Chains A and B, each alone.
Chain A
């Protein structure tokens, strides 16, 4: 992670200027994770937590399209190797794509050390809605077709790690 940050700083793909942080042409910022935790817990009270998934998905698509353009990485195989590294930089946990099928537009990813699950404590439902949205956005760009993502295992529910299933939206 640190190695990649150094590489981006040296290549000016990570810039710090006038209070801004730009990663590969996109503004990013540090927001205390407690803020999302509060959003999530409060939104859950009125069953509106999907806002976090949908917002992360929409912005994720734009973000990964920008990254794809700015790095010139448009090949699916290149993107599937590169995008997890970018997601790792957000520090929401350590991501690994364990399975993917370009033709069927399906994939499986796991997240170790999930920040949200760690902060949330015990939950009866998965809590990584934001990360789930980013994955859906990332794979929508990789597959060039809208996908959905669902967290099927979550550390907050007592699992060792979080697991996500991604599938083509037309199959829903």
Chain B
């Protein structure tokens, strides 16, 4: 993670000046974890978790769209690798892609040491709506298919790691959390 940050800084792919930070040509910012968790909890109380997910999905799609403008030739595989690298840089935990099937646009992602889940407190449902939303949005842009994502296991529920399934919207809708077989 530190190596990646250092490499990006050396290659001037992270720029810091006059209160701005650009990562790979796109403006970005840091958020204290507690702020994000507080915002998520308040929004879920008032608007439900889908609000967080859909907002993150839209943001993920727009972010990859900007990236594609800055870096031509963004393939599905590259987008997936970039997503994983960027998450490594973002301080949310360690993301890994598993069982990717580019033909059917499905995949399983792992988020180890999810800091949101670890610091969330009591939860009776998975809590990584931001991660799954961004993943769905990014994958939707890369595949040109409406992709959705569900969280199968979550550290906030006592699981050892957070696992996610991504796939076309209709396929994801068919699965419930417990019945999913992948």
**Cβ contact within 8 Å between B91 and A27:** yes
A119 vs B66: C-alpha distance when bound (angstroms) = 13
**Cβ contact within 8 Å between A27 and B115:** yes
B170 to chain A, nearest CB (A): 24
Contacts of B86 on A, CB cut-off 8 Å? 30
Contacts of A34 on B, CB cut-off 8 Å? 58-59, 62-63
**Cβ contact within 8 Å between B19 and A39:** no
CB contact list, A38-97 vs B, under 8 A: 38-39, 42-43, 46, 48, 51-52, 54-56, 58-60, 62-63, 88-95
- In the complex, whether A115 has a CB less than 8 A from a CB of chain B is yes
CB contact list, B20-43 vs A, under 8 A: 20-21, 23, 27-39, 42-43
A86 vs B24: C-alpha distance when bound (angstroms) = 23
- In the complex, whether B107 has a CB less than 8 A from a CB of chain A is no
A18 vs B114: C-alpha distance when bound (angstroms) = 10
CB contact list, B60-97 vs A, under 8 A: 60, 62-63, 86-95
**Cβ contact within 8 Å between A90 and B27:** no
- In the complex, whether B179 has a CB less than 8 A from a CB of chain A is no
Q: How large is the interface on B (under 10, 10 to 19, 20 to 34, 35 or more residues)?
A: 35 or more
- In the complex, whether A13 has a CB less than 8 A from a CB of chain B is no
Q: Which of A32, A56, A60, A94 contacts B28 (CB 8 A)?
A: A32
Q: Using known A-B contacts A27-B32, A29-B31, determine if residue A17 contacts B1 with beta carbons closer than 8 Å.
A: yes
A20 vs B30: C-alpha distance when bound (angstroms) = 12
Q: Which of B19, B30, B35 contacts A30 (CB 8 A)?
A: B30
Contacts of B113 on A, CB cut-off 8 Å? 18-20
- In the complex, whether A102 has a CB less than 8 A from a CB of chain B is no
Question: Scoring A residues 109 to 152 as 1 if CB is less than 8 Å from chain B, else 0, what string do you get?
Answer: 00111010011000000000010011000000000000000000
A59 vs B41: C-alpha distance when bound (angstroms) = 12
Q: Which of A5, A42, A55, A63 contacts B55 (CB 8 A)?
A: A42
A37 vs B58: C-alpha distance when bound (angstroms) = 10
Q: Using known A-B contacts A35-B59, A113-B19, A130-B35, determine if residue A28 contacts B91 with beta carbons closer than 8 Å.
A: yes
B152 to chain A, nearest CB (A): 19
**Cβ contact within 8 Å between A38 and B21:** no
**Cβ contact within 8 Å between B91 and A90:** no
Question: Scoring A residues 1 to 31 as 1 if CB is less than 8 Å from chain B, else 0, what string do you get?
Answer: 1100100000000001111110100111111
Q: Which of A1, A18, A28, A58 contacts B38 (CB 8 A)?
A: A58
- Which 8 residue pairs spanning A and B have beta carbons closest together? A94-B19, A21-B91, A91-B21, A34-B59, A38-B55, A29-B91, A27-B33, A59-B34
B interface vs A, CB < 8 Å? 1-2, 5, 16-21, 23, 27-39, 42-43, 46-47, 51-52, 55-56, 58-60, 62-63, 86-95, 112-113, 115, 119, 130, 134
